[in-house]
Structure 1
């Protein structure tokens, strides 16, 4: 489904101010249901080859079903991670240069409990957290609400720059992200959050987490090693760059390479980004 430019611009403004935004109906109900079915198939495939869907250091019990390496398991997830709406939201925060760090799923089944409170940037960077260097695009494959384990966040925590700003009663400040199947929720890396507890008797809550980062951050997954060559060979140049598969694709660039033309006026700076090459001396 296409999302109107007005909705996208409103979401960008909300994301910039509050650290998150919800965009409704990026997938229709049928597409969300198909993605959910494909997710369970991916989980079965992962389990068949011995991959654990429960990591004790993440979740208190196995009622949270984690599925890793989604892009390896099904082409559909390679399409979703590159969805135009998701990419536009990512670029609005991280700029033109970014990396796809990971794409995973968390299915909160009845009886699942919350993981530890955290922000994504606080895990990998010491404070101060002056800038946004990571972004999650969360795909709702089921309706999501507090009772079935919606992700919870602390409003205003995207403004916290130092760890000492996290108050002792932080868990009491959590509120749920709620949405319908097919919605996406975009959350920047400075927002403090956790998974919710699923207190329903028979209702799953299925979310996909597309994790994008600034190009100088180490990716959570080494896609060169993880994606089989036959899959890598099917990817277009842009996706290869986002996954860090090109030898000089991103190289940790934090600004526009055209600035080099100021320092080296005789240098030929490409007009088309696709032509950009960087020589390392």
Structure 2
């Protein structure tokens, strides 16, 4: 298999996920990829990690992770076409548009592989990093691809239930570490997480399991992206992208211009016919 499937899970599963995401700030959709597809993508991810390291890109960031048992792979879209397919997968895009509307941008796409011995990072919400409080609505959404079975012991992402309702950092309780629970899912699932949900990576306390996740980070179209794709992607890669993906990456001269509202210019004479305009003077 060279490419990932494009079929959607059963409509009832998507609808249930949509409702849960809206109410709770997260949802899990199983079987978006088959077991063999998830395994195939995982092999491609390890190849991408090697390619990234060969180019001198760091796969360990000390300011994020306590040790190098956490492997991070950045700029996935330029490393393998299979990641270009996943970031626009219909299951993901359908739910992204439910939360963010049609005018969204792909802000980032990265991988985090937790090997045995990896430790937890700092507690945070992704939206709090890019948007000042108060956080009254969702302006960001993570789509997390599970390439392996994910559970608490092998480093599942930990989150605070109900934290999508926090409006400021002062709302985060002093006993936040005691409130964390894991996102647990089978390989091939996607986890949807509202940008306001407070979370952290879990510690991998197993002897031999590796937990591999991909993080597709989408935002409202008026927010500055974490990655400047115009600067990062080569001309060869950009030329090979679909027009749809180019639009969602904010490529081109206009970038994200006009994404905050109505992009149709209603000139004065169209808004106010001549007789109405004269009467108003």
Specify if TM > 0.5.
yes
Tell me the matched-pair count: 266
* Counterpart check, 1:63 vs 2:78: no
TM-score by length of 1: 0.92
* Counterpart check, 1:163 vs 2:173: no
Pairwise CA distance, 1:250: 3.2
Aligned positions of 1:1-281 closer than 5 A? 1-258=7-264, 260-261=265-266, 265=270
- 1:139-172 CA-to-partner distances (Å, cap 9, x unmatched) read 0000000000000000000001121111111111
Distance 2:147 2:192 in 1: 15
Distance 1:35 1:221 in 2: 23
- 1:120-148 CA-to-partner distances (Å, cap 9, x unmatched) read 01112221011111100000000000000
Distance 2:132 2:238 in 1: 34
Distance 1:86 1:77 in 2: 13
Distance 1:264 1:225 in 2: 40
Distance 1:6 1:163 in 2: 35
Distance 2:120 2:182 in 1: 12
Distance 2:213 2:253 in 1: 32
TM-score by length of 2: 0.92
**Which sections of structure 2, spanning at least 5 residues, go unmatched?**
1-6, 273-281
Distance 1:69 1:180 in 2: 25
